[in-house]
Structure 1
Amino acid sequence: MASETQPLIGTQSTSSPLTRSRFRTQLACGAVLVTEIFERIAMYGAIGNLVMFLNKTPYNWTSYNSVNALFMFTAVTYMTAIIGGWIADSYLGKCRTILLFFLIYIGGYVFLPLLYPYPDPKFEPSQPPGWCAGSGNSSGWDTDHMDAWDEKCSWAVYLSLGIIALGSAGVKANFAPFGADQVRQEGTIAMRVFFNWFYWCVNVGALVALGLLAYVQQEISFFWGFLAPNVCLVIAVLVFTLGLPVYIKKPAGGSIISNIVRIVYDACRVRHQHWRRTVVTSDLDNANDLETLLNPINDAPSTCLDHAKVRFGGSFHDNMVDDVKALGKILCVFAAMIPYWTVYFQMETTFLIQGLHMRLDFNGTQGHRNITDEHPVITEFKMAVAWLSLFDVFFLIFLIPLFDRLIYPRLDRVGLTPSLRTRIAVGMVFSIASVCTAGSIERYRLDTYWRNGTENIYWQKIGGTFYRAADVSILYQIPQYALIGISEVFASIAGLELAYVHAPRSMQGLIMGLFWLCQGVGSLVGTATMVSFRGLWFFDWDHGDINCRVTCECHLDYYFFFLGGLQLVGLVLFVIIVKVLDIGRASPYSSQRASLPPGRSTGRRRVEVSQQ
């Protein structure tokens, strides 16, 4: 028998398995992160210029219908993520669910190049392709009160976007938690590292899509700009498939939603029985006996759901009931973040529309003021409108490693690690600053356009379509994109981490789906507010031109300030909710961080993730 000072496993036998285990973990994480990069290239390749694609020739959708199409796409993508999470938790497991929805994803994406089947960059079609042109009658400058379903090829656009949204949703709900499963045994620090680098890879994909593909779409052809992301999506599936031998795959745990329903029903049933017992004993003469009956000294349900526990007369073990209680807490926090997502999605919608009506070139000449005059063609180099989103991406790509490798480790060492709820609240503050900055820029843009009460038009041609812009450089938008990028470093990453860390293990897919669902609700709130202000701040004239025909009637600036106020209310509610529910506290991080790639042990005792 080995002595107490002798290792239970010899050094020769420990080095090889441990090395192999770390190597497999690194391979698994690497496959997940590379897959995420290519998948995000595909996604941002579809949505980065979607508003401009629909707003320009040959489709000529109104501005607000173009924006709402993206809002609806985003809403469906995020809201149907709960379906993917439910399927993974209850039936297929995360890995097989991801593969299934990848196939749906590809099936929807093949439609996009068909919406613009014109590979020749010199050919500028005046009408959409014949296979879908049977619907819609959008044409000319005077299309008023145009409903979304009356736009050209609306059925084909919404069908393709709907299939893509469903496929993307199933992947989105499971991909981040699947990647985190690969490093969960390494403890909380390794998971924070993973989520930081996962989000970093998301933005690397966005950088390629918005930096390269957006320019191809705008200046060459949307056919090639949509075909290239198709290829990237296929590569993503291949890379993910190659990693199958090294992944940690957790099986499905049964029907989660049905268990939740049964627990809620059982709690209501037992509580009703207790209430009836209270009524029966109401005629007792001895008040002390009644008090003893209703409030046992030893134990009593602290919440309604506790009635479903076996020890209180229910049918379920404590852990199952506590998981459902944790779900309710997390949902309250997610709901408080909805205004943040409403502001966040302006980056891909109203910010883009604002940029289309600002000067894109750096040395252009002032255009004519009369529409009957010949439009001056600006020949100088023009930046792609979607490139403005790159300022958000650049800040993220720079700040995420800075926080992960420098700022957070130093805070850890001095015991000042910011909690998840603190990071989210700080992100909300920056989002308010972003949208208020956008409102100020829009006020300046409108004043420039309507100087002295007359139109001062700066005509510019973008992708074959003329836009009436103000002579204000699009570079003025940099601060609002930078501020929303900083907000992501805090709120988005911390929200993603909170969704995983505080999720009961039996509900990780479901809760991650609910996290994305609340983002979808935020997108729908954006749609609802735009529809509500239609006819007040937004009009149908000239394809929804945000300049309007009459001075000071259109007010995108008011809309931005309204969103700032909405986010301020959301911030207050968020602070109250996390304080009352006592949720969002970060698990204490060790002073020694995992500064190695995800999956590398810190050399300290592994710490299990808090299931608060």
Structure 2
Amino acid sequence: MPGNIDDAAAGIKHDPSIAVAPDFKHEEQGEYPTEEELHTLRRVADTIPWRVYTLAFVELVERFSYYGSTVVFTNFIQQPLPKGSKTGAGFKDGQSGALNKGQQASTGIGTFNQFWVYLMPLFGAYVADKYLGRYKTICYALGIAIVGHIIMVVSATPAVIVHPNNSLGCFLIGIIIMGVGTGAFKPNISPLIAEQLHVTKLVVRDRPDGERVIIDPTVTQSRVYHYFYLFINIGALVGQVGMVYAEKYVGFWLSFLLPTCLLCVCPLVVWYCRDKYVMAPPQGSVLGKAVGLFLLANKGHWSLNPVKTYKRLYDGTFWEDVKPSHIEPSRRPAWMTFDDQWVDEVARGFAACSVFCWIPLYWLTYNQLNNNLTSQAAVMKLNGLPNDVLSNLDPFALIILIPLCDLVFWPFLRKMKIRFTPIKKITMGFYTGAAAMIWAAVVQAYIYKKSICGTGAAGVLPASLGGDGETMCPPVDINVWAQTGAYILIAISEILASITTLEYAFSKAPKNMRSLVMSFNLFMSAISAALGEAFVTLSADPLLVWNYGTMAVLAFIGGTCFWFQYRGLDKEEDHLNMLFAASRKTIASWSITCALQARPWPFGG
């Protein structure tokens, strides 16, 4: 592996002026680099402890269970139970199904599941920060998720599946309980992984071969998150491929049972390694005080005149005016028990969160994978493939592309002196997602053009064409692999947008707000799912071309607005990478150094 991931993760490589004085040392980790060393020494990642891989394995298995189950949701809800079947299996030439509720119902329930699973991280982060800590929250979350999976297995058993309404009720209870567990798991697993890393500051070390290098924690974090995402997609790929064939040739009960059994392994792994993990105790949730401080800061900054509002919000006093040192003790709220430095940390946390506010428009494009693109495949020429197997092109492409980016593409850009910063990556993620939706829209247009049912390609064969009211329209003569481009483009967009936001959420947030910022990042998927509900009416013939086209336009607009709003952060990237890794003691040292050298403090105030 290369020493660097990308220049965005390279700390203060291009701005040695913000280096801490050479005599400032970590007592345990080593020396800070001098200005000369920042110019000349190579940056490398620290070694990754083996305990990180145990947590990555838990994530892999949890994603196997989640995606292995959800990949069959569309067919389970939308398609009818095959004649004479009590399992829902369609076998080679048939279509698997169970509840026969239609495409809009499957899209609506799938979108609700997406919303619920990514709403719950706010709850999981709060519980971890205030009561249990990340490790214990993960343990409880796994137990809750297992209960939800068991209930879904019951909904697909032969005795229940033949009663669609009963099966649907049981299924919905299962996904709600599973969502609580999954949502509490997600905001805590990735910060817990990153907290297992040894080095938290830039330090200089001598290698066994004599080379003197800079150990950069942001390079290490970037590498960990790239391969963390790789583990996620290995689990998703194996789970999805295996479960669609279990659904196709055995039945839905098996496609829900196998993920449940595998998920039961996770508590055993985390229990066995419990004494090996670095576990920070709960320090109390910052959510209440942070929201109170934010609301207090907004007072006096709003006006009916939008121009005045904008000027007041960006006049540099937003956070400065609510620092305790600027408020008389008699006028301070009862909850204001913190110092000015804590206000600075909250400001940085909100700054990191604000970057994610455009992300829901990106997730609208990704969410098409789990419902509409699966339904699109069902009306194409499958040649014996399950219609929901094509969605596995996304994790399969990611398994190939993530190492290629890490080992080939990012080093090439560095060699060409092209700085592909997080803001640029996320912007390109939007545009690539938009391109995927354009591809899907073109495929859908050709489906309508070639289907004998025209714009009703997914419906019942009309009586005018010999239909009996039950026979579905025949598949169109377009090979299902025509969807490949859409899935690969989505995979590329995930590397650019999704992985980068994970890194950004951890690296740019203060230590006491990491779970909160990570949960806010995940909550953007819930917002996207809620927005997706507004487009459910487009998720059926004859409006599917409009559906994909609308998603493409929204992603393009979102990416453009994101770039114009946050392009200025590119200039501060080096400052941010160094500053967010700092402890209070280090920040104080930097502020003194900045004052002595007459340099601006990166966050004002």
TM-score normalised according to structure 1 size? 0.72
Q: Which residue of 1 aligns with 2:527?
A: 521
Q: Which residue of 1 aligns with 2:396?
A: 394
Secondary structure, counterpart of 1:506 in structure 2: helix
Secondary structure, counterpart of 2:420 in structure 1: coil
Query: Distance between the aligned counterparts of 2:457 and 2:289, measured in 1?
Result: 63
Is 1:484–2:505 an aligned residue pair? no
- The 3 A distance-change label for structure 1 pair 584 and 443 is farther
Letter in 2 for 1:48: V
RCO comparison, higher one (Cα < 8 Å, 6+): 1
Q: Which residue of 1 aligns with 2:405?
A: 403
Letter in 2 for 1:325: A
- The 3 A distance-change label for structure 1 pair 191 and 413 is farther
Q: Which residue of 1 aligns with 2:121?
A: 81
Contact 2:187–2:522 (8 Å) recurs in 1: yes
| Runs (5+) with no aligned partner, structure 2 | 1-26, 29-45, 82-97, 201-216, 302-313, 462-469, 579-600
Q: Which residue of 1 aligns with 2:136?
A: 96
Letter in 1 for 2:365: V
- The 3 A distance-change label for structure 1 pair 452 and 86 is closer
The match for 1:171 among 177, 185, 203 is 185
The match for 2:546 among 552, 558, 564 is 558
What is the CA distance between 1:414 and its match in structure 2? 5.8
- The 3 A distance-change label for structure 1 pair 360 and 302 is same
Query: Distance between the aligned counterparts of 2:366 and 2:150, measured in 1?
Result: 28
Contact 1:88–1:174 (8 Å) recurs in 2: yes
Matches within 5 A, 1:199-218: 199-218=229-248
Is 1:128–2:161 an aligned residue pair? yes
Is 1:27–2:50 an aligned residue pair? yes
Query: Distance between the aligned counterparts of 1:575 and 1:115, measured in 2?
Result: 46
Q: Which residue of 1 aligns with 2:259?
A: 229
Matches within 5 A, 1:465-484: 468-484=474-490
Q: Which residue of 1 aligns with 2:584?
A: none
- The 3 A distance-change label for structure 1 pair 611 and 176 is farther
Contact 1:188–1:587 (8 Å) recurs in 2: no
What is the CA distance between 1:394 and its match in structure 2? 1.8
- The 3 A distance-change label for structure 1 pair 260 and 224 is same
Contact 1:417–1:589 (8 Å) recurs in 2: no
Post-superposition CA distance 1:31-50 (Å, at most 9, x none): 01111111111001110111
Q: Which residue of 2 aligns with 1:112?
A: 152
Query: Distance between the aligned counterparts of 1:487 and 1:267, measured in 2?
Result: 36
Contact 1:332–1:577 (8 Å) recurs in 2: no
What is the CA distance between 1:386 and its match in structure 2? 2.2
| Runs (5+) with no aligned partner, structure 1 | 1-7, 10-21, 119-124, 136-151, 273-299, 362-381, 539-545, 547-553, 591-609
- The percent identity for this pair of structures is 23
- The 3 A distance-change label for structure 1 pair 335 and 200 is same
- The 3 A distance-change label for structure 1 pair 111 and 570 is same
Contact 1:301–1:312 (8 Å) recurs in 2: no
Query: Distance between the aligned counterparts of 1:465 and 1:47, measured in 2?
Result: 27
Query: Distance between the aligned counterparts of 2:278 and 2:395, measured in 1?
Result: 31
Count of residue pairs the alignment pairs up = 478
Query: Distance between the aligned counterparts of 2:577 and 2:324, measured in 1?
Result: 36
Query: Distance between the aligned counterparts of 1:478 and 1:266, measured in 2?
Result: 50
Matches within 5 A, 1:170-569: 170-183=184-197, 185=199, 187-264=217-294, 267=297, 302-313=316-327, 316-361=338-383, 382-412=384-414, 415-450=417-452, 468-531=474-537, 533=538, 538=540, 546=541, 554-569=542-557
Letter in 2 for 1:167: G
Letter in 1 for 2:116: V
Letter in 1 for 2:289: N
TM-score normalised according to structure 2 size? 0.73
Contact 2:448–2:455 (8 Å) recurs in 1: no
Post-superposition CA distance 1:446-503 (Å, at most 9, x none): 10004899989999xxxx9966422221111111111101111111100111111111
Contact 2:187–2:519 (8 Å) recurs in 1: yes
Secondary structure, counterpart of 2:475 in structure 1: strand
Contact 1:301–1:307 (8 Å) recurs in 2: no
- The 3 A distance-change label for structure 1 pair 324 and 219 is same
Contact 1:412–1:589 (8 Å) recurs in 2: no
Letter in 1 for 2:448: L
- The 3 A distance-change label for structure 1 pair 213 and 584 is farther
Contact 1:207–1:393 (8 Å) recurs in 2: yes
Query: Distance between the aligned counterparts of 1:452 and 1:113, measured in 2?
Result: 38
Contact 2:194–2:224 (8 Å) recurs in 1: yes
- The 3 A distance-change label for structure 1 pair 347 and 586 is farther
- The 3 A distance-change label for structure 1 pair 586 and 440 is farther
Contact 1:438–1:477 (8 Å) recurs in 2: yes
What is the CA distance between 1:326 and its match in structure 2? 2.2
- The 3 A distance-change label for structure 1 pair 583 and 509 is farther
Contact 1:260–1:324 (8 Å) recurs in 2: yes
Secondary structure, counterpart of 1:489 in structure 2: helix
Letter in 2 for 1:567: A
Secondary structure, counterpart of 2:477 in structure 1: strand
- The 3 A distance-change label for structure 1 pair 457 and 128 is closer
Post-superposition CA distance 1:255-288 (Å, at most 9, x none): 312221442465468x69xxxxxxxxxxxxxxxx
Contact 2:507–2:577 (8 Å) recurs in 1: no
- The 3 A distance-change label for structure 1 pair 183 and 466 is farther
Letter in 1 for 2:277: Y
What is the CA distance between 1:101 and its match in structure 2? 0.9
What is the CA distance between 1:611 and its match in structure 2? 10
Q: What RMSD, in angstroms, separates the aligned Cα atoms of the two structures? A: 3.2
Query: Distance between the aligned counterparts of 2:287 and 2:349, measured in 1?
Result: 11
Q: Which residue of 2 aligns with 1:121?
A: none
Query: Distance between the aligned counterparts of 2:53 and 2:385, measured in 1?
Result: 33
| Stretch deviating more after TM superposition (57-66 or 339-348) | 57-66
Contact 1:329–1:583 (8 Å) recurs in 2: no
Post-superposition CA distance 1:375-432 (Å, at most 9, x none): xxxxxxx112222112111211011111112332344456534111111111111111
Secondary structure, counterpart of 2:319 in structure 1: helix
Query: Distance between the aligned counterparts of 2:184 and 2:575, measured in 1?
Result: 29
Which one has the largest radius of gyration? 1
